[in-house]
Structures are given as structure tokens and as C-alpha cells.
Amino acid sequence: MDSTRKYAFTWSLLGDIEAGRPNLGPNLRMEVYRLMQFCFRDVLEQHYGAAETDRLFYEAGTLAGREFYKNAFESKPETFNTLILELQKKLKELGMAILRVEETDLENLQFTLTMAEDLDCSGLPELGYEVCVYDEGFLSGILEEFTGRPFKVREVDCWCTSERTCRFEARPSESSLETFPETQRAG
Ligand SMILES: [Zn+2]
């Protein structure tokens, strides 16, 4: 591990929530999550521009997806179907999203997934562009850990583009964190 790092992520950083919040418990209101996420995005954009901000959110999502995969399941899913069933259960239990699979091409590892009632965009004003970059990364991290291959995930429909669910296309990529086309985020 890099000893110069101050903020390297470990799952233990999530802490003992039961001990730490005996009165408030593990839940918080959606506004709090969105307040933090959208303020982070605002400040990052001012410092680094929109494209770099998206890249950073994607990368953070990928890290989160990888760590989630390694830590959130009691045992590692053995098949894609088991993975999806376990994920559906876990994401619902955590109040993260309602996950569905629309298309599965196991031979080419290409998938179309939807996440409804998600944390990042459900109920937002219509913006004309997709906003769930963190979720793209999150799904890519999970798929990378599951398959052992780099993945690229791109959101093709979003609450913010007037859909009522977020839709993601996933496929293997040349390298991890391969960037999506810059033009995608024009808005
Ligand atoms: Zn979305």
C-alpha cells in the first residue's frame, strides 16, 4: 500500500454504524446524499471542468463497485444469474436502486441493465443529458470484479433525459476506466 496516501479507501472506513449511531441508525434522507454528490460535482467542475469531473465520478464509481463486490456479498456469485439475483437483493435492501436486466449476451459479455428509483437522478428535473456517471462506474467495477476483465458501462437513458428508469449498456473494454466519448456529456 502507498504510505503517502491519506485517503486510500478500505471497507473498514465505513465503520461500525450500529455502534456509532445508536439513535439515528443506518438510514439517512436522500437529500443529504444528493446534497453532497451535487456539491462535489459543482466544485470539481469549477476546478477541473465538466469532462474531468465526469471522469473522476466514473473512476470513483468503479472503485466503489469493486469494493462493493468484494465486501457486500456473503459468498461470491458463481454465475451471471446469481450475480444479478444477489445484486438485486442487495441494492434493494440498501435502498440504492431497483435493478433489472433487459438484455444478456453471455458469449460477448454484453448486457443492458436498468436501475429504477436510483440515488442519483430519480425525480430530478429534465436536463437533456444523462447524469448517472457514478452509477456507470459502479456497475463497471462490479462487472470487472465478477468477470476479471475491464468493462465499460455507459448510461443511454436517464430520468434526466425523460425516461423513468436509467438504462446502462455494458461491454468489455480494452482497459479499465476506458473513457466514454466526450461528446456524450454535451449539455
Ligand atoms: Zn440516470
In the reported structure, the alpha carbon of residue 139 is separated from the centroid of ligand 1 by a whole-number distance in angstroms of 13
pLDDT digits over 110-131, tens only? 999 999 999 999 988 888 888 9
Rounded to 10 deg, the angle between the 80-93 and 133-147 helix axes is 140
pLDDT over 80 at 2, yes or no: no
In the reported structure, the alpha carbon of residue 120 is separated from the centroid of ligand 1 by a whole-number distance in angstroms of 7
In the reported structure, the alpha carbon of residue 165 is separated from the centroid of ligand 1 by a whole-number distance in angstroms of 7
pLDDT digits over 62-108, tens only? 999 999 999 988 888 999 999 999 999 999 999 999 999 999 999 99
Q: What is the pLDDT of residue 73?
A: 86
Q: What is the pLDDT of residue 178?
A: 63
- Cell for 155? 448510461
Burial 105-135 (b: 16+ CB within 10 A, else e): eeeebebbbbbebbbbbbeeeeeeebbbbbb
Q: Structure pTM?
A: 0.91
